[in-house]
């Protein structure tokens, strides 16, 4: 049995109800390719095919394990399902990827079941752990959704929900940060780390970012799939205690109420808002109207921290605290090395 046929049969056994015993039967051998034909096959196409099979096999393995645990896929009315109690994805208008998913399900059926649990508060209803887009697509198409029903605690549901999105790598950076922020309202950092597949240091950075940015403001921009952590942090640097200073807010508000903003994709919305902030910053620097930084002390009034909309600075009185000043000078290179390592780890 060749590998491609073997994988195909496994998929049919998983999703089409084929008796797994049929997998042991050998198919008729496929006609062999001539040497000339083999040479025409591009290495890129072969690599793409291998990657596709690898992704499918990972998903099949997860579902196969569920079936071994006694779970089977059921046809469920989309009206009997409710989303997870913690949203992880932003729903946006004119979502091309979602329209492609709907077209695929309409043409070929729902290939991968969703995961649900009996609703913890409402009898005869279910709550989705993962597969929200498949549920919405089936709902729009007016067809039942295939789902595996499994008893899950709140924590187990959130971990399954987060890990499925992490493995598929289809949540944007800011959607992951927003998901972590919502989880932090109820769950400890250990659960957040498991749910989003990030270590404690990364989780802390995500939460710090979301503490600086109002959630409603982020939602107005949208998922911005092409915008990564550095640019979001750059935008957050213009906020002071969760708010934009007046000169910045005036320009950003003007952008957000424009017709172009409403019709733009979320990446374009982000870029327009960041440009407005930079423009306000340049104007403030020219007129000398940059907002005053918030000041606070670290230690027993040993280090003065100034946290402004555009800069963060630390000040030590080297005459009164020579040993502390020398210590900080000595430690700064090591801290920079540690920072660079963390950045490389996150990017990987």
In order along its 348 residues, the chain shows pLDDT tens digits of 444 445 445 444 444 444 444 444 444 444 445 544 444 444 554 554 455 455 545 555 655 565 555 467 899 999 999 999 888 888 777 677 888 899 999 999 998 899 999 999 999 999 999 999 899 999 999 999 999 999 999 989 988 888 777 665 578 899 999 999 999 988 899 889 988 888 999 999 999 999 999 999 999 999 999 999 999 999 999 998 888 988 889 999 999 999 889 888 899 999 999 999 998 888 766 655 455 556 667 766 678 777 765 567 788 888 778 888 888 888 888 888 887 777 766 655
User: For residue 316, what are the β-bridge partners?
Assistant: 303
Give the pLDDT of residue 17: 45
Q: Residue 126 carries which DSSP code?
A: E
User: What is the enclosing helix (H) or strand (E) of 233?
Assistant: helix 229-236
Give the pLDDT of residue 70: 46
Chain centre distance of CA 282: 33
Positive or negative CA dihedral for 335, 339, 341, 342?
A: positive
User: In this structure, what are the phi and psi dihedrals at residue 54, rounded to the nearest 5 degrees?
Assistant: -60, -45
User: In this structure, what are the phi and psi dihedrals at residue 210, rounded to the nearest 5 degrees?
Assistant: -70, -25
Positive or negative CA dihedral for 229, 235, 238, 243?
A: negative
Domain 71-170's class? alpha beta
pTM of the model: 0.58
Positive or negative CA dihedral for 258, 264, 266, 272?
A: negative
**Among 314, 254, 53, CA closest to 246:** 254
**Residue pair 305/295 in contact by the 8 Å Cβ criterion:** yes
- How is the chain split into domains, by residue range? 71-170
> Please, which residues have CB within 8 angstroms of residue 167's CB and are 6 or more apart in sequence?
58, 197
Give the pLDDT of residue 55: 52
> Please, which residues have CB within 8 angstroms of residue 22's CB and are 6 or more apart in sequence?
9, 13
Rounded Cα distance between 114 and 165, Å, is 12
Q: Which residues of 263-273 are buried (b: 16+ CB within 10 A; e: fewer)?
A: ebbbbbbbbbb
Give the pLDDT of residue 167: 62
Please, where are the H alpha helices in 96-172? 96-108, 132-141, 154-168
User: For residue 294, what are the β-bridge partners?
Assistant: 307
Locate 116 and state its tokens.
């649900």
Locate 325 and state its tokens.
């000043």
| Burial group, residue 93, by CB count within 10 angstroms (0-12, 13-18, 19+) | exposed
């Amino acid at each position: 049995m060749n590998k491609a046929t073997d994988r195909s049969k496994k998929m049919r056994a998983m999703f089409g109800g084929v008796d797994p015993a049929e997998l042991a039967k050998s198919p008729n051998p496929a006609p062999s390719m001539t040497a000339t034909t083999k040479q025409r096959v591009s290495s890129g196409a072969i690599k793409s095919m291998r990657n596709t099979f690898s992704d499918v096999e990972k998903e099949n393995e997860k579902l196969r394990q569920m079936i071994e645990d006694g779970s089977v896929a059921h046809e469920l009315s989309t009206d009997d399902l409710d989303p997870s109690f913690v949203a992880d994805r932003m729903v946006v208008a004119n979502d091309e990827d979602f329209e492609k998913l709907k077209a695929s399900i309409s043409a070929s059926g729902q290939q991968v079941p969703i995961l649900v649990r009996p609703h913890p508060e409402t009898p005869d209803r279910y709550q989705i752990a993962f597969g929200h887009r498949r549920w919405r697509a089936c709902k729009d198409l007016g067809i039942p959704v295939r789902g595996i029903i499994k008893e899950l605690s709140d924590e187990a549901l959130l971990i399954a929900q987060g890990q499925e999105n992490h493995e598929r790598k289809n949540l944007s950076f800011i959607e992951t940060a927003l998901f972590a922020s919502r989880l932090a309202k109820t769950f400890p950092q250990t659960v957040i780390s498991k749910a989003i597949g990030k270590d404690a240091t990364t989780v802390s950075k995500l939460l710090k970012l979301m503490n600086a940015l109002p959630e409603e403001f982020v939602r107005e921009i949208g998922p911005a799939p092409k915008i990564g952590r550095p640019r979001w942090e750059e935008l957050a640097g213009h906020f002071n205690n969760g708010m934009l200073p007046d000169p910045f807010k005036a320009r950003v508000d003007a952008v957000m109420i424009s017709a172009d903003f409403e019709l733009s994709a979320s990446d374009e919305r982000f870029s327009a808002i960041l440009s407005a902030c930079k423009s306000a910053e340049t104007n403030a620097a020219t007129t000398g109207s940059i907002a005053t930084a918030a000041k606070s002390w670290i230690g027993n009034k040993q280090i003065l921290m100034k946290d402004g909309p555009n800069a963060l600075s630390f000040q030590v009185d080297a005459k009164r605290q020579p040993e502390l000043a020398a210590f900080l000078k000595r430690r700064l290179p090591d801290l920079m090395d540690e920072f660079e390592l963390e950045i490389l780890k996150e990017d990987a």
